[in-house]
Structure 1
Amino acid sequence: MNEPTEARLRMAGHWLQIGHPERTLDELQGLTGNAALDYRAYMFRGAALHTLDRNAEAIDVLRDGLAQYGPFPPLLQVLGSSLRSEGQLPEAEAAFLQGLSLDPNDPDLLIGYARVCLAAGQAEKASALVERAASYAPESAAVSAARAQVAFALGNDRDMHRHSTEALSHDPEDPNARALHGTASMLTGDSRSGYTSLASAAASQPGDADLRAAARQAKLINHPLMLPLRPFARLNPLVVWIGAVAIIYGLRIAGLGPLSFAFAMIWLGFCVYSWVVPPLVRRWLNRRWGT
């Protein structure tokens, strides 16, 4: 392979590594003949398409590469991730298992398979796979991120926050780590940090509607008018309602009628506030955002 072609392949890999998949595809467009069939061309093109959420195209490219070169763990890893993103979980599992049959200790394959398990609702199995990956790559940012995802699935908010903070420490600009940290911060009551991380992640991935919605919800919760409602944000509304009614009737039974009436009026005012203010604040923020 001549030097210009080799340089183009190296540049394609460089753009992919630093988070510019569009530039990767531009570099690969210039390859012709046998160079376009190099295993790295399949790998870089498939990974770039997957990063851009063009997963159906990525699957076709990666399957072509596997047909050309046979089973190859890096190709199988990206193929499995693309299939998972398309919701084809049995096919994704098959791809990861084939990769692991060739390299049972590959952390990327183990984490990829764990994410398939999470998508299938198998959080305990996913946790075991992530811990196995951690035994081979204990300092990996991907392991910390995967641990945070497992903790979220298991409902362990504080563990999620700890692991997402670890993932963020590896790369403070990584949008996926930012999204995990923002979600964990919101779940553990740190709405200010949650909004900062979610807003940063949404700005880095403007095409992600779910991420934008999460950032807007965090912005809403951080508005000063929402301050009286924050202590109740993580509580079950039915439990809060039953508790308030119990207090009102408890005070009345105890012979504290005036205090019971005062508490009932305060509770009624709070209920009206909670029904009226959030929609108004949301509408005002949406108008500022132009939506």
Structure 2
Amino acid sequence: MTEPAESRLQLAGHWLQIGRPERALGELDALPGDAALDVRAYLFRGTALHQLDRNAEAIDVLQDGLGRHGPFPPLLQVLGYALRAEGRLSEAESVFLQGLSLDPTDPDLLIGYARVCLAAGQVEKASALVERAASQVPESVVVSAARAEVAFALGKDRDMRRHSVEALSHDPEDPHARALHGTASMLTGDARAGYDSLRSAAASQPGDADLRAAAREAKLVNHPLMLPLRPFARFNPLVVWIGAVAIIYGLRIAGLGPLSFAFAMVWLAFCVYSWVVPPLVRRWLNRKWGQ
């Protein structure tokens, strides 16, 4: 392979590492002749397309690469992720099992298979696969992040946050770990930490629309005008309504009519505030973010 072609492949890998898949594709498109058929070219192109949510194209590229180069665990891993993203879970499972037949202890393949199981609702199986991966790489951002995903699926918000903090201790700049930490922080009531992590994750993955939307929602929660609503954010609205009505009628039954009326007026004002302010703040933020 010529030196310019090798340099382009290295640049493509660099752009993928820093979350710029479109730049990676630009380098790969400029590869000459046989260099474009190198196994790394297939891997980098498939990965870039997957990161850009062009998963149907990624699947075609990766399958072509496997047809040309034979079973190669990194290609199988990315193909499995692309198939999972397309909702083709049984095919993704087959791909990860093929990879694990080549290397049963590969932690990346184990984690990939675990995520397919999570998507299929097989949480216990996913947890077992994650722990198998942990036996290979116990101090790993990928393992800690996967544990956080399992905790999320089980509804264990505090465990999710603990594992996401562990993931960040291994790699503070990992965007997936940042996104998990942001989500867990929001779920456990730490809106400021949640916004900081989600904003960081969205900035490092500019092509991820879901992350941008999550960061916008976190910024909405952190807006000063939303502070009066924050104490109620983690409660079921129906339960809050029932509680307020119970207080109003309880005060009236106890002979405290004026106090009952005052509380009812305060509650009405709060309800109007909760109906009017969030849509206005969201509209303003969307305009600011160019939506």
TM-score of the superposition, structure 2-length normalised? 0.91
Matching residue of 2:256? 256
Matching residue of 2:57? 57
> Does the CA contact (< 8 Å) of 2:19 and 2:205 recur in 1?
no
Amino acid at match of 2:95: A
Q: Shift of residue 21 of structure 1?
A: 3.3
Q: Shift of residue 240 of structure 1?
A: 0.6
Matching residue of 2:281? 281
Q: Secondary structure at the match of 2:234?
A: coil
Matching residue of 1:98? 98
Following the alignment from structure 1 to structure 2, what is the Cα–Cα distance between the partners of residues 203 and 10? 23
Matches within 5 A, 1:71-110: 71-110=71-110
Deviates more, 1:29-38 or 1:267-276: 29-38
Matches within 5 A, 1:1-291: 1=1, 5-291=5-291
Residue-pair matches, total: 291
Structure having greater relative contact order (Cα 8 Å, sep ≥ 6) = 2
Assess, with a 3 A threshold, how the Cα gap between structure 1 residues 250 and 204 changes in structure 2: closer, same or farther: same
Q: Shift of residue 39 of structure 1?
A: 2.4
Assess, with a 3 A threshold, how the Cα gap between structure 1 residues 51 and 281 changes in structure 2: closer, same or farther: closer
1:168-223 deviation digits (Å, cap 9, x = unpaired):
23333332222211111111111111111222222233332222222221111111
Q: Shift of residue 232 of structure 1?
A: 0.3
Identical aligned pairs, as a percentage? Answer: 83
Following the alignment from structure 1 to structure 2, what is the Cα–Cα distance between the partners of residues 156 and 245? 31
Following the alignment from structure 1 to structure 2, what is the Cα–Cα distance between the partners of residues 287 and 136? 47
Following the alignment from structure 2 to structure 1, what is the Cα–Cα distance between the partners of residues 204 and 13? 21
Q: Which runs of 5+ in 1 are unaligned?
A: none
1:108-128 deviation digits (Å, cap 9, x = unpaired):
001111111111222222112
Q: Secondary structure at the match of 1:139?
A: coil
1:222-243 deviation digits (Å, cap 9, x = unpaired):
1112111110001000001111
Following the alignment from structure 1 to structure 2, what is the Cα–Cα distance between the partners of residues 7 and 288? 40
> Does the CA contact (< 8 Å) of 2:9 and 2:27 recur in 1?
yes
Following the alignment from structure 2 to structure 1, what is the Cα–Cα distance between the partners of residues 9 and 206? 28
> Does the CA contact (< 8 Å) of 2:19 and 2:204 recur in 1?
no
Following the alignment from structure 1 to structure 2, what is the Cα–Cα distance between the partners of residues 31 and 286? 40
Please report the RMSD computed on the Cα atoms of aligned residues, expressed in angstroms: 2.1
Following the alignment from structure 1 to structure 2, what is the Cα–Cα distance between the partners of residues 287 and 256? 47
Q: Shift of residue 248 of structure 1?
A: 1.8
Q: Secondary structure at the match of 1:155?
A: coil
Assess, with a 3 A threshold, how the Cα gap between structure 1 residues 92 and 253 changes in structure 2: closer, same or farther: same
Following the alignment from structure 1 to structure 2, what is the Cα–Cα distance between the partners of residues 176 and 87? 20
TM-score of the superposition, structure 1-length normalised? 0.91
Following the alignment from structure 1 to structure 2, what is the Cα–Cα distance between the partners of residues 253 and 233? 29
Following the alignment from structure 1 to structure 2, what is the Cα–Cα distance between the partners of residues 13 and 196? 28
Q: Shift of residue 84 of structure 1?
A: 0.9
Q: Shift of residue 94 of structure 1?
A: 0.8
Assess, with a 3 A threshold, how the Cα gap between structure 1 residues 270 and 138 changes in structure 2: closer, same or farther: same
Following the alignment from structure 1 to structure 2, what is the Cα–Cα distance between the partners of residues 289 and 31? 36
Following the alignment from structure 2 to structure 1, what is the Cα–Cα distance between the partners of residues 233 and 40? 49
